[in-house]
Amino acid sequence: SHGVEDAGRKQQDILEEMEKTLQQMGEIDGCSQGRARALMLKGKALNVIPDYNPKAEELLAKAVKLDPELVEAWNQLGETYWKKGDITAAHTCFSGALGHRKNKVSLQNLSMVLRQLRVESTEQHAQNVMDSVRQAKLAVQMDVRDGRSWYILGNAYLSLFFNTGQNPSISQQALSAYGQAEKVDPTASCNPDLHLNRATLHKYEENYTEALEGFSRAAALDPAWPEPRLRQQQLLDFLERLTSLLENKGKVKVKKLQSMLGSLRPSQLGPCGDGQYQGSSGQKVALEHRLLSALQPGVNTGAVVLGRVVFSLTTDEKVPFTFGLADSKGPCFAVTVYNMVQSWGVLIGDSVAIPEPHLRHHHVQHQGKSFSFPGIRVETPLLLVVNGKMQGPGTQAAATVAYRAQSE
Question: How high is the pLDDT of residue 210?
Answer: 97
Q: Give mean pLDDT, residues 68-91.
A: 95
* Same domain, yes or no: 76 and 143: yes
pLDDT band at 2 (very low <50, low <70, confident <90, very high): low
Q: What's the domain count of the chain? A: 2
pLDDT of 400 higher than 50: no
321-326/288-289 β-pairing = unpaired
DSSP, collapsed to helix, strand or coil, labels residue 50 as coil
- Cα 240 to Cα 18, 203, 364: the distances in Å are 45, 15, 11
- Residue 11 within a domain: yes
Length of the chain: 408
pLDDT of 19 higher than 80: no
- Residue 401 within a domain: no
Separation CA 247–CA 239 (nearest Å): 12
- CATH number assigned to the domain comprising residue 12: 1.25.40.10
- Residue 399 within a domain: no
* Same domain, yes or no: 255 and 295: yes
Residue type, 58: E
Q: In this predicted model, what pLDDT tens digit does every residue of 294-304 receive, in sequence order? A: 999 999 999 99
* Same domain, yes or no: 13 and 132: yes
Identify any residues that bridge with 304 across adjacent strands, giving them in sequence order.
289, 355
Residue 376 DSSP label:
E
Separation CA 232–CA 351 (nearest Å): 33
pLDDT band at 27 (very low <50, low <70, confident <90, very high): low
Question: How high is the pLDDT of residue 285?
Answer: 81
Residue of 191, 259, 260, 254 whose CA lies nearest to 4: 191
Q: Give mean pLDDT, residues 5-34.
A: 66
Domain boundary among 211, 239, 267: 239
Q: Which domain holds residue 140?
A: 4-239
Question: How high is the pLDDT of residue 123?
Answer: 85
DSSP, collapsed to helix, strand or coil, labels residue 336 as strand
- Residue 406 within a domain: no
Q: Give mean pLDDT, residues 323-348.
A: 92
- CATH number assigned to the domain comprising residue 341: 2.40.50.550
Higher pLDDT, 10 or 136: 136
- Residue 408 within a domain: no
- Residue 404 within a domain: no
Using alpha carbons only, how large is the chain's radius of gyration in Å? 26
* Same domain, yes or no: 270 and 368: yes
* Same domain, yes or no: 256 and 158: no
* Same domain, yes or no: 258 and 227: no
Q: What is the mean pLDDT of the chain?
A: 89
Q: In this predicted model, what pLDDT tens digit does every residue of 115-132 receive, in sequence order? A: 999 988 888 898 999 999
Is there a contact between 80 and 60 (Cβ–Cβ < 8 Å)? yes
Q: List, in sequence order, every beta strand (DSSP E) within 203-302.
A: 277-278, 284-285, 288-289, 298-299
* Same domain, yes or no: 333 and 207: no
Is there a contact between 284 and 295 (Cβ–Cβ < 8 Å)? no
Residue of 334, 344, 327 whose CA lies nearest to 376: 334
Separation CA 387–CA 235 (nearest Å): 30
Residue 174: enclosing H or E segment and its boundaries? helix 168-184
Give the sign of the dihedral formed by CA 359, CA 360, CA 361, CA 367: negative
Domain boundary among 221, 239, 257: 239
Question: How high is the pLDDT of residue 21?
Answer: 75
Residue of 264, 203, 247, 268 whose CA lies nearest to 373: 247
- Residue 398 within a domain: no
What percentage of the chain reaches a pLDDT higher than 70? 93
Higher pLDDT, 370 or 285: 370
* Same domain, yes or no: 184 and 286: no
Separation CA 374–CA 382 (nearest Å): 22
Q: Give mean pLDDT, residues 6-19.
A: 71
Separation CA 222–CA 349 (nearest Å): 45
* Same domain, yes or no: 362 and 301: yes
* Same domain, yes or no: 76 and 220: yes
* Same domain, yes or no: 225 and 255: no
Q: In this predicted model, what pLDDT tens digit does every residue of 151-193 receive, in sequence order? A: 999 999 999 998 877 788 899 999 999 999 999 998 888 999 9
Q: Give mean pLDDT, residues 356-365.
A: 97
Q: In this predicted model, what pLDDT tens digit does every residue of 305-324 receive, in sequence order? A: 999 999 999 887 777 999 99
The H helix count followed by the E strand count for the chain is 13, 12
Q: In this predicted model, what pLDDT tens digit does every residue of 213-261 receive, in sequence order? A: 999 999 999 998 999 999 999 999 999 999 999 999 999 999 999 999 9
Question: How high is the pLDDT of residue 399?
Answer: 45
Is there a contact between 117 and 88 (Cβ–Cβ < 8 Å)? yes
* Same domain, yes or no: 325 and 371: yes
Residue of 137, 216, 209 whose CA lies nearest to 173: 137
What percentage of the chain reaches a pLDDT higher than 90? 70
Residue 358 DSSP label:
E
